[in-house]
Amino acid sequence: MNLLPFGKLAAHQPRSFVPPDLDLGSWPQIAPLFDLLEQRAAVASSAAALEHWLLDWSELNAALDEEASRRYIAMTCHTENADAERSYLHFVEHVEPQLKPRQFALEQVHVTHPQFKHLPKARYEVYNRDVKNRVELFRPENVALETEEAKLCQQYQKLIGAQTVNFRGEEKTLVQMGRFLEEPDRGLRQEAWELVAKRRLVDADRCEDIFDQLIQLRTQMAKNAGFENYRDYAHRQKCRFDYTPENCFQFHDAVEKEIMPAVREIQHDRKRQLQLEKLRPWDLAVDPQNRPPLKPFAGVGEMIARTQKIFNHLDAELAAGFQQMQDLKLLDLDNRKGKAPGGYQSTLAEARVPFIFMNAIGLQRDVETILHEAGHAFHAQATRNEDLYSYRNAPIEFCEVASMSMELLGNEFLEEFYPTAEANRARKTHLEGIIGFFPWMATVDAFQHWLYTHPDHTRAERKAAYRQLMDRFGGDVDFSAYEEVRLHSWQRQLHIFLHPFYYVEYGIAQLGALQVWANSRGDKGKALSDYKKSLALGGSRPLPELFSAAGCKFQFDAATIKPLIQLAGHELKKL
């Protein structure tokens, strides 16, 4: 039974190295290809021969990546399906652990190859740097630990994906409950918020158990690799050559200095318009003028059609890319029970096409999400003709520029979803959301810095550290009688569990996206052209150069933040 919304997809280029009928879930069939690559490397007597070897290795990597993606997609689309879970775990437990030492062996072969230094420097500068970094970090004893880590992450996803509540006689997912937080009836909002909060607390201890094990595993990985803590290991593992933990702390400080005043001003205006003495957690999503929630679409099909019209306005090439995704059934966008939470874009690396997963329920944030994930998809499509597998993937800090810029650029055409007055309301909500995001980003990132540099902390100490950050970045929201809910709110951020230290990238990228948007206010054509050219570079250039190609500065200090927040504030006053 095919659990994927799409079927078999043709490879972007016919295979020349990987047999067409290879079972990519069978290690005994995969292993001989690694043997062959090792043998061929020994006879590669020129830089051209080594480049050809790299392309064959790329072909194998793409085929394996797509196999992993297909299994992950099926599992997240159907978390309650035993076959999907079994297939995903088989790959995690029986293929990936075998792959890692063999990939490491090939990376060692590459960096010690006599022709390594003769490869064209401009072409392979980033690739060779990253491969050398992985060789230096690899430890065979970490392979089993990474397998255990992946299994714990799957347990977390299964736990969260199964969370539902009974609200007024109907079973609802927690994602579906989000719509009630936009209702003008304050009593209804409170009822919905409390029900979800209590449901999350039911699983709080289980989440703590999973996370305790994750910290232990990750700390051991870092020690195995010779690092004092997992934070330093993770930064190196993510190839963060262009910024340091100290730069992250400076970013947190800049958010506190330049953005928190704007956040408090927005919260003050909300409280005044709602005529409240105090803002409560169920008052943050409702329209401050108590208007009914924006209803951009009735069903997912309508959302797709209206989004297509936005891209038709924006750019013909991007519009064609989004249409291709529909034609190939590369979208699974509706929310349903048994579907993993969140949203993502995954590239099917051999077909070189993107897939979008999300949980749409008919809210304005769904419009923001589809624009966001489409930006990732356009990034994948822009690099389709790059044959070096590694270069089809940019650093996360720039991947998110692609997606966040698309939210802002697409917002110009929100009249495809709303009349002008409601479109402006949606734009205002979006800009306020961007401003409000930065403190949460700083909280999540700073929390992880603390967690992994204090690996032996108790749960009480963890709670105290999080409380300090919530006091610093939470703004003026009253959680009286709900302090336990507040202090467990980090558990809903799946990145903390699944992708440690993958969150500051969103903040760095949001600054890049705001710069793309600012540039478009002056010269829309050039800003969009620069955006597309930068996407086409993939991961072939260092981060500062990718930002520069998009017309942005790779800086995240107070001097960079201040004018962007001022521009956003100016636009908010107009809306």
> For residue range 514-544, what is the model confidence (pLDDT) as tens digits?
999 999 999 999 999 999 999 999 999 999 9
How many whole angstroms separate alpha carbon 334 and alpha carbon 468? 37
Which 8-state DSSP code applies to residue 298?
S
What does the domain layout of the chain look like in residue ranges? Answer: 27-138
How many whole angstroms separate alpha carbon 230 and alpha carbon 451? 9
- What pLDDT score was predicted for residue 575? 86
How many whole angstroms separate alpha carbon 501 and alpha carbon 499? 6
As a whole-number percent, the residues of the chain with pLDDT over 90 amount to 94
What is the full DSSP assignment across 212-267? HHHHHHHHHHHHHTT-SSHHHHHHHHTT--S--HHHHHHHHHHIIIIIHHHHHHHH
Say if strands 331-334 and 353-360 run parallel, antiparallel, or are unpaired.
parallel
Which 8-state DSSP code applies to residue 335?
-
Residue carrying the six token digits 């610093």:
472
How many whole angstroms separate alpha carbon 472 and alpha carbon 128? 41
Q: What are the C-alpha distances in Å from 386 to residues 153, 360, 575?
A: 32, 32, 42
How many whole angstroms separate alpha carbon 477 and alpha carbon 13? 54
- What pLDDT score was predicted for residue 1? 58
The contacts of residue 175 (CB under 8 Å, 6+ apart) are 335, 341, 359, 361
Buried b (16+ CB within 10 A) or exposed e, 451-476: bbeebebeeeebbebbeebbebbbbe
The contacts of residue 193 (CB under 8 Å, 6+ apart) are 181, 281, 282
In angstroms, what is the C-alpha Rg of the chain? 24
Which 8-state DSSP code applies to residue 292?
P
In terms of Cβ atoms closer than 10 Å to its own Cβ (0-12, 13-18, 19+), residue 39 is exposed
| Encoded tokens for 141 | 């004893």
Sheet holding 331-334, edge to edge: 331-334, 353-360, 344-348
User: Tens of pLDDT along 114-124?
Assistant: 999 999 999 99
Tens of each residue's pLDDT in the chain, 575 residues: 578 989 889 999 999 999 999 999 999 999 999 999 999 999 999 999 999 999 999 999 999 999 999 999 999 999 999 999 999 999 999 999 999 889 999 999 999 999 999 999 999 999 999 999 999 999 999 989 999 999 999 999 999 989 999 999 999 999 899 989 989 999 999 999 999 999 999 999 999 999 999 999 999 999 999 999 999 999 999 999 999 999 999 999 999 999 999 999 999 999 999 999 999 999 999 999 988 888 999 999 999 999 999 999 999 999 999 999 999 999 999 998 899 888 999 999 999 999 999 999 998 999 999 999 999 999 999 999 999 999 999 999 999 999 999 999 999 999 999 999 999 999 999 999 999 999 999 999 999 999 999 999 999 999 999 999 999 999 999 999 999 999 999 999 999 999 999 999 999 999 999 999 999 999 999 999 999 999 999 999 999 999 999 999 999 999 999 999 999 999 999 98
Say if strands 164-167 and 170-173 run parallel, antiparallel, or are unpaired.
antiparallel
- Residue 248's Cβ-side half-sphere holds a number of Cα atoms within 13 Å equal to 23
How many whole angstroms separate alpha carbon 534 and alpha carbon 529? 9
In terms of Cβ atoms closer than 10 Å to its own Cβ (0-12, 13-18, 19+), residue 32 is exposed
Task: Find out whether 498 and 153 touch, Cβ atoms under 8 Å.
Answer: yes
- What pLDDT score was predicted for residue 418? 97
Closest alpha carbon to 554 in 509, 498, 504, 494: 509
pTM over 0.85, yes/no: yes
User: Tens of pLDDT along 32-79?
Assistant: 999 999 999 999 999 999 999 999 999 999 999 999 999 999 999 999
